[in-house]
Amino acid sequence: MTGADSRDMDVAELALLLPSPADRELPLGRHYALKEYLMSEVRLAAPAPAGRPATRRRGPAIVFAVAGVAALAALAITLAFLPQSTPGYSPAAVRLLGKVATTAAQQPNPHVRDNQFWYIKSWISYRSCDAASKCALEKPHERQIWLSVSNLCVAGLLREHRQELPLVSSGSAVHCPWRGVVNDPTYRLLQSLPTDPHALLRLIEQQMQGQQPRSQEAFTTIGDLLREAIAPPRVSAALYRAAALIPGVTVVQDATDAVGRTGVAVAMTSQGVRTEWIFSKQTLLYLGERDVNVADGSTVGESAVLQRAFVDHAGQLPG
């Protein structure tokens, strides 16, 4: 990391810790299905459905209370300094992600056994292309996934398009038991991640080095974790604070997820596609994601997380 990069991250982190005012290259055919599991030697036991290209698919929040004039002066100095010295950072995005991180850190921290699975139900739609390169947004549909919280060598399950596909790890790089890697994690792997946002961002950039431009790769990886993983509250908070250190992240004041829920979003644009992480304006909890072709404003992918839980076996629905 260069000295300039370090200074940029320090300034963005400072803004995160101050009080808030009152108040992948992303291809158009990017598919939600099988994103993580076709990376890092993790494969489906059954082939992906035809026409669905396989592509890649996240500590406690520290709140500083600084009294009176000193806090206001520090905030004013920071916000005045950010756009001039670090033009890639949006003060509005830094503030929003700081609030989201604080909310994430306050969520319940469940006791999870090694023999359990995380369950995530989503409503999704992504653009797909046929052999003649004709592309269209697929029909919105439900997706359910179960993954072992501790060992990817234990078969998980994917239900989508009226199919049930076992999810199993394979390949010479996998030594069972396998906790996964940062872009294909188990809950136990996520528990082990650093909760310092600087350290977490460095780890993500190191593990994903060379796949895309550094900032876009980090944003994409964190977004994948937000959408289809369950992280402990401390790690979730750190992921949001790490995202605030990524240059190029902006705010979209009005965004809509795949089931029509409206919220506020943080976004990054790459290769003509803007990826939005959508949060409830009331609760600041994560709702879903939307990919927009900035040239014409069309949606090329969208998702909504409907349910997350821990269950005792693959295929079991939460009570």
Give a yes or no: residue 71 inside a domain: yes
Identity of the amino acid at 35:
K
Helix 68-85, helix 3-17: angle, nearest 10: 140
Give a yes or no: residue 319 inside a domain: no
Place of tokens 């809950």: 187
Helix 91-105, helix 68-85: angle, nearest 10: 120
Strand partners, 299: 292
Residue 154 domain boundaries: 3-311
Chain centre distance of CA 252? 16
Q: How many domains would you assign to the chain?
A: 1
Q: What was the pLDDT predicted at 172?
A: 53
Q: What was the pLDDT predicted at 171?
A: 58
Q: What was the pLDDT predicted at 192?
A: 98
Q: What is the largest CA-CA distance in the chain?
A: 64
Q: Where are the beta strands (DSSP E) in the chain?
A: 42-44, 117-129, 135-137, 141-148, 156-160, 163-169, 180-181, 184-185, 250-256, 262-270, 273-279, 286-293, 299-311
Q: What element of type H or E holds 172?
A: none
Going from the first residue of the chain to its last (319 residues), give the mean pLDDT of each consecutive group of 10, the final group possibly shorter: 50 49 35 34 32 30 31 38 56 97 97 98 92 87 98 96 89 80 95 97 90 88 96 98 97 97 97 96 98 95 98 96
How are beta strands 184-185 and 180-181 bridged, if at all?
A: antiparallel
- Segments in 18-90 forming alpha helices (H): 68-85
Give a yes or no: residue 220 inside a domain: yes
Question: Model pTM?
Answer: 0.76
Q: What was the pLDDT predicted at 135?
A: 86
CB proximity list for 183: less than 8 A, separation 6 or greater: 36, 39, 40, 56, 57, 207, 208, 221, 224, 225
Contact between residue 44 and residue 34 where contact means Cβ atoms under 8 Å apart:
yes
Task: Please give the structure tokens belonging to residue 290.
Answer: 């939307």
Angstrom distance (rounded) from CA 124 to CA 138: 9
How many Cβ atoms from other residues are within 10 Å of residue 318's Cβ? 10
Q: What element of type H or E holds 178?
A: none
Angstrom distance (rounded) from CA 112 to CA 23: 37
Task: Please give the structure tokens belonging to residue 150.
Answer: 């501790």
Give a yes or no: residue 30 inside a domain: yes
Angstrom distance (rounded) from CA 57 to CA 258: 18
Give a yes or no: residue 318 inside a domain: no
Q: Of 85, 77, 71, give the one whose Cα is nearest residue 18.
A: 71
Q: What was the pLDDT predicted at 81?
A: 36
Give a yes or no: residue 93 inside a domain: yes
Q: What was the pLDDT predicted at 52?
A: 28
Give a yes or no: residue 248 inside a domain: yes
- Segments in 106-157 forming alpha helices (H): none
Buried b (16+ CB within 10 A) or exposed e, 6-28: eebbebbbbbbebbeeeebebbb
Give a yes or no: residue 316 inside a domain: no
Strand partners, 79: none
283: left (phi over 0), alpha (psi -120 to 50) or beta: alpha
> Three-state DSSP class for 308?
strand
